[in-house]
Structure 1
Amino acid sequence: IKALCRRANVEKLEAGPKGMTLAFRGKSFANPTGLVKWVAAQGERAYVRPDMRIVVTDDFEKLADRLKGTLMVMREIAKIAGKKG
Structure 2
Amino acid sequence: VLGHSFQSHRATSSKDAPRRREPPRRILGELLCTGFEDFLGRCVCAWRCVAVSAARHRQEFESFELRAELQEAHEMLNISVHQSALGGARQRRSQ
Category of TM-score, reference length = shorter chain: 0.3 to 0.5
Higher relative helix content: 2
TM-score by length of 1: 0.37
TM-score by length of 2: 0.35
Q: Find the structure with the greater CA-based Rg.
A: 2
Q: Which has the higher contact order (CA 8 A, sep 6+)?
A: 1
